[in-house]
Structure 1
Amino acid sequence: MIKLALSDMDNTLIPFGAPHVSDRTIEAVHAVLDAGVFFGPATGREPLELKRFFQGDEACFRTGIFSNGKRVHANGVAVRTILLGHNELVRIDEALRGEKGVFLVCYPEQTDETNPAYGVRTTKPELAVFEGRTHFTGTVVDEVPNEDFIAATIACPGPPERMDRCRQIIAEAVPEVRIVSPIPEWFDVLPAGVSKASGLDVLLDALDLTPSEVVVFGDAENDLDIMRRVPHAVAVANANDEVKRVARHHVGSVGEDGVAEALLEIARATAVGETPAFLADEGLE
């Protein structure tokens, strides 16, 4: 029986760049909650950002894995917070200095609904491209500020080959972190050992659940670890090829509200003690 449904946000629950999830999605989340199943995002984004995505409906993210596992909330209670090391961020910035147009973005732990961030050693026009794309309010600075940061990203404009080079640079210069790409030209920075999967372990412990009671929906590289952790891993139809290979089940695309329809099926099946059809049938495209 499914007792927890977790979904990535961008390009899984909501089309990338859309201002908020669909009304159908909010309806589906509440149907799952009303059926006694926990629901939560498993996302690289922060809880305050999700107020916009869920149109202020905080019931939709009382439980979840945020900032790619650095924050975990269980039914409204914060059960994990991991900050990024200042020294590691400084070394990332130093390692990237030879790469024109590639820069670090740091997000303070003390934040607000504008999602403030620092673009390190970049220009306002370069920063503005990614501000609009990923929805943060940026300030250009010459060095990593000496304050607490909950998240960091790397802007890496250019072809996939440049992304590969950036991976190599960071792996060699700062082995204490790993970088994963949720969207093209963009990396999330994570402490080694921290991921959505490690956040799942914390969340399962807090809710007294097992991996077999969880369904996880995803589409991109930063979803792979958590999808490998559960037997009910589900790819949306627009997922990348690796996610599709890892997933045991498949649903419709983000543009078709594929996850919302799956959540409604979970709610229906839970009410009558059945296995959701998309899980029993090994996934429906």
Structure 2
Amino acid sequence: MTNKSVIFFDIDGTLLNHEKELPASTKESIMKLKEAGHIVAIATGRAPFMYEELRKELGINTFVSYNGQYVVLNGEVLYANPLNITSLIKLTEDALQNEHPIVYMDHEDMKANVPEHPFIKESIDTLKIKQFPTHDPHYYKERELYQSLLFCPVGEEKQYEEKYDDFDFVRWHPVSVDILPKGGSKAKGIDKIVEKLGVSKENVYAFGDGLNDIEMLTEVHNSVAMGNAEDVVKSVAKHVTDSVEDDGIYHGLQMVGLLK
């Protein structure tokens, strides 16, 4: 058992503001945590390749990606939970008939099963990342996929939810839905790291703002919701800090006693 604290941060709306920028106070706070000997980690729905530059800027090499499906501790893969490929192929066939494109994602890249589609561009552009899925309809072959993206208007994902019970479908954009292994979550990914590090639950912290942070903020002993979070997210957290735009990370770390 170690006396160190480990602090998990969501990215979008938590570490990064709504312009996908890292506030100066947030970066300074992260550096102070590390100087004090704490372990700083990321817990996000993003793929690892989508925030490699952020990890380098902050010197972070422990993270939970894909909402718990791909977990890395000190630069080494600790846990991986891939999608059921047989079910994904069947879902792809159904989606193609409905003119709903799919993007396949592993830990290194993402590929679309159609050459182009306005829904793909519209949703991926909001992430403001350098990567954009290129066309490879067979990317699922001979590799493990940890998430896929289904592109369809709100409500049309219900037909897939009813048919594919080994997947969770989580909407993140008006025209896009995450496809994840059933029952996965950031909280479960965090558990893998905490168990391996031997950190007591009293020394585990988590900051988040989104609906996919609810389980994490519910289960982590010291949980902090951002001021810009929805009310349902705030309701499950132990603390609520200011918004990401108003130095919320800095104030939240002060609130829980990790910074003076």
Task: Name the residue aligned to 1:11.
Answer: 13
Gap runs ≥5 in structure 2: none
Equivalences, count? 254
From 146, 154, 166, the equivalent of 1:150 is 146
Gap runs ≥5 in structure 1: 270-285
Do the aligned partners of residues 143 and 75 (structure 1) sit closer, same or farther apart at CA in structure 2, a change above 3 Å counting? closer
Task: Name the residue aligned to 1:57.
Answer: 57
2:126 maps to 1:133: yes
Task: Name the residue aligned to 1:230.
Answer: 220
Task: Name the residue aligned to 2:82.
Answer: 83
1:25-174 to structure 2, matched below 5 A, reads: 25-54=26-55, 56-57=56-57, 59=59, 61-97=60-96, 99-100=98-99, 102-109=100-107, 111=108, 116-121=109-114, 123-134=116-127, 135=129, 136-142=131-137, 145-148=140-143, 149-156=145-152, 158=153, 162=154, 164-166=155-157, 168-174=158-164
**One-letter code aligned to 2:103:** V
Q: CA deviation at 1:17?
A: 4.6
Do the aligned partners of residues 75 and 146 (structure 1) sit closer, same or farther apart at CA in structure 2, a change above 3 Å counting? closer
Render the CA deviation track for 1:96-117: whole Å, top value 9, x for unaligned.
34545x43211234x2xxxx42
Q: CA deviation at 1:69?
A: 0.8
Of the structure 1 ranges 259-268 and 173-182, higher mean CA displacement relative to structure 2 is found in: 259-268
TM-score of the aligned structures, taking structure 2 as reference length: 0.85
- Helix, strand or coil: the match of 1:57? helix
Task: Name the residue aligned to 1:207.
Answer: 197
CA distance in 1, matches of 2:148, 2:220: 27
CA distance in 2, matches of 1:147, 1:29: 38
Q: CA deviation at 1:28?
A: 0.9
CA distance in 2, matches of 1:44, 1:4: 19
Q: Which has the higher helix share?
A: 1
CA distance in 1, matches of 2:251, 2:221: 20
Of the structure 1 ranges 67-76 and 242-251, higher mean CA displacement relative to structure 2 is found in: 67-76
Any conservation in 1 of the 2:70–2:81 contact (CA below 8 Å)?
A: yes
1:238-277 to structure 2, matched below 5 A, reads: 238-263=228-253, 266-268=257-259
Identical aligned residues as a percent: 24
- Helix, strand or coil: the match of 1:225? helix
Any conservation in 2 of the 1:182–1:220 contact (CA below 8 Å)?
A: no
Render the CA deviation track for 1:22-71: whole Å, top value 9, x for unaligned.
232221111111112111111012333223235x3252x21221121112
CA distance in 1, matches of 2:58, 2:174: 29
Task: Name the residue aligned to 1:281.
Answer: none
Do the aligned partners of residues 63 and 108 (structure 1) sit closer, same or farther apart at CA in structure 2, a change above 3 Å counting? closer
2:169 maps to 1:179: yes
Render the CA deviation track for 1:247-271: whole Å, top value 9, x for unaligned.
12100111123123323664435xx
2:188 maps to 1:188: no
CA distance in 2, matches of 1:85, 1:4: 32
**One-letter code aligned to 2:148:** A
Task: Name the residue aligned to 1:280.
Answer: none
Do the aligned partners of residues 97 and 39 (structure 1) sit closer, same or farther apart at CA in structure 2, a change above 3 Å counting? same
